[in-house]
Amino acid sequence: MDTIQAILNAMLREAVSPQTAAVAIAAIGLNIHFGFTGLLNIGQSGFMLLGAYGFAISVGHGVPLLIAVLIGFAAAFVFALVLGAPTLKLRGDYLAIVTISAAEIIRYVGRSSLLTDFTGAAQGLQGKSYRDPFTDLSFFGDGSTAIGPLDYQNTGVNGWWVRFVAWILVALCLLVVVLLVRSPWGRLLRGIREDEDAIRSLGKNVFAIKMQALIIGGLFGALGGMIYVLPSSVQPDSMGRSLTFFCYTALLIGGAATIFGPVLGAILFYSARIMIKGIANSYVPDSIMNGQQTEQFSYIVVGVALMLIVIFRPQGILGDKRELRFNV
C-alpha cells in the first residue's frame, strides 16, 4: 500500500511542478500554431530556448527582471519573423522543415564553446546566476509549508513561489487564448487551417494572419522556456527536439484546437510518466530492469500511448469527435 501511496504522491508532485506548467504554456502556444492555424511548427523548443537564453543572459548581465523578460520575448519575436518570412507563403511542410532545423541551430549555437561567456556553452547557465531577482519578488516569506504530500520551501529555489507564479501564468495564458480564439481573429485562424485559398478569395491577408499566429504562439513558447529554467538551469541539451515532442504529446493527449487540452495533456503526460516509472521501479526486479532502464521504459510506454491515442482517439481527450468526421 505504501508503494502505491508513494507513487501517487510522486505523480501529484510532478503534476504541479513548475516544469509541467512551463510545458503546458509552450503547448498552449503550439496549439495556436498547430491546433488553430494548422502551422506545423516542429521547433517549439527553439522558441523556449531563445526565451530562456534571452531572459537568463540579460539578468546575468544586470538587466532588471522585467526588461530581461521582454528581451526573451523579443528574441522569440525575431525568431518567428525570420522563420516565417520565407516559409509562410509556401506549403505547410516547409515551415516544419525550417523550424526543426532552426531550433537545432539555436541549440548548437548555444552550446558552442565560443559563446562560453554568454551561454555557458554545453554546461549551460547555473540557476543561481539569474534566479535571484525573481525569488526576491516573493512575498511568501521564509520557511516551508506542507499541503498534503506537497512539502516545499515558501520561496526557495524550487518552492511554492515559483509554482504559484507558473500556474498563475498558465491561467493568464489560457485567458488570453480564450479571448483570441473566440474572436473574429480566431475564426480567421480556423479558416486558414481549413483552406487558405478560400480565405484569400474573401479578401483576407493570409500571410499576415499566419505570421501573427506564428509570433503569438512563439511568445507563449518563450514564456514557457523562461519558466522551465527558473527552478533549474539553462541546459541547451535538455531543451532540444525531445522537448518539442513532449509539447506535441501534451497537445495531442489533451486535444488540439481545444482551450484546456494542452494544460490537461501536459499534466497527464508528466504524471503518467512518473506513474509508469514508479510502478516499474517498485514491482519489476532490478535484474530485469534497473533504475536507469525504467526511465527509458517510461518514455517508451508514453510513446506507445501517444500512438494509441492518435489512432483511436485522434481528437484527444477534450476534442470534438464531430469535427474530425469531415477531415479530408
Residues found near other proteins in the complex (CB under 8 A): 176, 179-180, 183-188, 190-191, 193-195, 197-206, 209, 212, 216, 322-328
Q: At closest approach, how far in Å is the CB of 184 from other proteins?
A: 3
Cβ closest to other proteins, residue 31 vs residue 233: 31
Classify 60 as helix, strand or coil.
Answer: helix
Q: At closest approach, how far in Å is the CB of 194 from other proteins?
A: 4
Question: For the purposes of burial, counting CB atoms within 10 Å of the CB of 76, is it exposed (0-12), middle (13-18) or buried (19 or more)?
Answer: buried
Of 17, 12, 45, give the one whose Cα is nearest residue 248.
45
How far, in Å, CA of 273 to CA of 253, rounded?
13
Cβ closest to other proteins, residue 71 vs residue 192: 192
Q: At closest approach, how far in Å is the CB of 311 from other proteins?
A: 20
Q: At closest approach, how far in Å is the CB of 205 from other proteins?
A: 5
Cβ closest to other proteins, residue 28 vs residue 206: 206
Cβ closest to other proteins, residue 24 vs residue 188: 188
Q: At closest approach, how far in Å is the CB of 209 from other proteins?
A: 8
Q: At closest approach, how far in Å is the CB of 198 from other proteins?
A: 4
CB 71 within 8 A of CB 55: yes
Cβ closest to other proteins, residue 3 vs residue 183: 183
Of 121, 103, 108, 36, give the one whose Cα is nearest residue 244.
103
How far, in Å, CA of 217 to CA of 44, rounded?
9
C-alpha cell at 268: 497527464
Q: At closest approach, how far in Å is the CB of 123 from other proteins?
A: 39
Q: Tell me how far CA of residue 280 lies from CA of 259, 285, 290, 298, 312, in angstroms.
A: 33, 8, 9, 8, 26
Cβ closest to other proteins, residue 111 vs residue 210: 210
Phi, psi (deg, nearest 5) at residue 38: 80, 20
Cβ closest to other proteins, residue 56 vs residue 188: 188
How far, in Å, CA of 211 to CA of 71, rounded?
20
How far, in Å, CA of 297 to CA of 310, rounded?
20
Of 115, 151, 77, give the one whose Cα is nearest residue 234.
115
Q: At closest approach, how far in Å is the CB of 260 from other proteins?
A: 19
Number of CB atoms found within 10 A of residue 127's CB: 17
Cβ closest to other proteins, residue 49 vs residue 257: 257
